[in-house]
A and B are shown apart, each in its own frame.
Chain A
Amino acid sequence: MIDWDLIRDLLSWALFLTGGFSVVAGAIGLVRFPDFFTRLHAAGVTDTAGAELIILGMMIQAPNWIVVVKLAFIAAFLFLTSPVATHAIAHAAWMVGFKPMQGPDLRYEGDGK
């Protein structure tokens, strides 16, 4: 007899742990990366892998199908809206003339010889 509850727990725990790890890694990147634009990339990890993996884990634990569908809606709307938010921030920074660091030595344009 296969213990489906055990398989469900194992699968969702694996997803929760990888998702949680992504959130923490994104947060660490957010602190460690040098400038605004590079930090956006770290936030992207939390946005995508972190959120979606945790929601997937919740879907496996859901008590009935209507909860699964609602979680799927949340996942889909996050998938569609989080890049819009990220782009809005990046575009706003760009429009007001905020220039990113560039190159391997992380220089601002016009900085140095």
Chain B
Amino acid sequence: MGRFIILVLALGALWLLLSGYFDKPLLLGFGAASVLFAALMARRAGIVDNDSVPTGLFPGIFGYWLWLTFEIGKSNIGVIRHALAVEPKLSPKLFYVPCQPKTSVGKATFANSITLTPGTVSVDLGEEGILVHALTEDFADVGAIKEMGDYVARIEGSEA
């Protein structure tokens, strides 16, 4: 039930901010009705769980996003340098990174963070962990990527 209320509040906030109507009762009523309808349909379909409303990741996810932004900035500079180098010295590599997050949202967040960071792309998720393709030997820094996974695992751990 708590999750359902959070979903309604989040959808309501999204509707309000996207529409920009704050003083038209008729339109606000339609908005409230559509938000409730969408939330009830989601509930009826049984998809209001930790995957669609990942309350467990909040509020730690905000600090993580900020940290991730700096990581992305750093590796962007690295990839741009390779793209514009007179003679790019690439040494692509495929390797597995252990996946510490246990929930599916945590795994998705971790794998997406790897992909979002230029220079590394997550290719597959298997028993051994996440299969990562890196642009060069420098980007294939298992320690740094594991650090990212530890961070995500810490955030999702706050729910348990």
Contacts and interface: CB of A to CB of B under 8 A. Distances in A.
A87 B132 CA distance: 10
Given A28-B83, A29-B83, A102-B92, A83 B123 contact: no
B93 interface: yes
Given A29-B82, A70-B18, A87 B88 contact: no
Contacts of B135: 38, 41
B80 A83 contact: no
Contact of B124 (A34, A37, A94): A94
A72 to B, nearest CB: 9
Summarize B's interface: helix, strand, loop or mixed: mixed
Interface string A73-113: 10000011011101100110010000011111010000000
Interface residues of B, number: 37
Interface stretch (B23-31, B114-122, B149-157): B114-122
A100 B116 CA distance: 19
B90 A33 contact: yes
Contacts of B65: 79
A38 B92 contact: yes
A106 B112 contact: no
B92 A70 contact: no
Contacts of B133: 37, 40, 90, 100
B143 interface: no
25 contacts: A22-B76, A26-B80, A28-B84, A29-B79, A33-B88, A37-B121, A41-B79, A41-B118, A41-B120, A42-B79, A44-B79, A44-B115, A44-B117, A45-B79, A49-B118, A69-B17, A79-B65, A83-B111, A83-B112, A86-B121, A87-B115, A90-B115, A91-B123, A94-B131, A103-B92
Contacts of A32: 83, 88
A80 B84 CA distance: 27
A69 to B, nearest CB: 5
A48 interface: yes
